[in-house]
Amino acid sequence: MLTTHLHLIESDAAKIDTTEVFKEVKDEIMKAGAMIVKNRFARGDTEIYTLKKYCWDKYEREVVYDGTTRQCSCRIFDSRGLPCSHMFYVMKEEHVDHIPTSLVLLRWTKDAKIEYLNLNCNILVDSYLIEQSRVDDPIGTAKSDVGDSTTAKSKCAPKKEKKSDTKAVRRCSKCNRITHNARTCSHFPANVVEDWLLPNQTDINVVDLHKNVVYPCVLKRGRKPREKYLCLGWYEYVKPTRLRPGDVLVCTMADPPTTMFVCFLM
């Protein structure tokens, strides 16, 4: 939106200058309204203006105008690079509708800002490409075969693997049968020292020397040579007496009754 009395010059400044610079230029255009011509004379092709300020008699500035170049005694253009309010007043007197190129510095224009931004972008892109070329692998990144790590269970004890549903058949450790165990075995075995037994000897008496009890039993030959088990009649007599493996018994044969040998329970 144009706010000064020099609309054409203000519009031209808005097209050329950046936003920050345009604000300063517009302030100078506004100040030009307070300028008054005190004296004006020509020297060849050059016009010399002597200006004073409204209600300020001691204020005086001199502007030299030759059509292309302008000089002012305030030196604002020389120090800041922007046209002063005195130059804008002379433009109004000379019916100039735009800012001459001699009063436009490239560094304050929009084109300079755009060029600067493009330059920075190019520098950033170039620097990025340089850094990328230093770290890029020309062979290519090898495919990683490493998978995700196994999640460790941090709580509770580790679970044991379940065994097969098929359970082993439990057998008696004394007679190797499956109907009972060693504690309830009715076929209590005994290793017999049988050096005096006859080959077909079956009927024997087992004597408990501690209790003076005689157990009549039937001796049955086992699978191994010279291995016999007290089978029939043994369970009924031995269980109530709570005999255990390792007890020493004296066995007597029924015929002849005088022959004796030692029986070691296993």
Question: Hey, where are the domains in the chain?
Answer: 7-108, 190-265
Per-residue model confidence as pLDDT tens digits over 141-179: 555 667 777 777 666 766 777 666 667 788 777 667 787
Decide: residue 51, CB within 10 A, 0-12 exposed, 13-18 middle, 19+ buried: buried
Nearest CA-CA partner of 192 in 216, 225, 240: 225
Cα separation, 216 vs 250, in Å, equals 12
Q: Is the peptide bond before 158 cis (omega within 30 degrees of 0)?
A: no
> Residue 49 has what pLDDT?
92
Choice between 115 and 44, residue whose per-residue pLDDT is larger: 44
Interval 111-141: pLDDT, tens: 777 776 666 565 555 565 655 655 555 555 5
Say yes or no to pLDDT of 228 above 60.
no
Can you give the length of the chain in residues? 266
On the CB side of 132, CA atoms within 13 Å amount to 6
pLDDT at position 164 is 64
What are the tens digits of pLDDT across the range 69-105?
A: 678 889 888 888 888 999 999 988 888 888 888 888 8
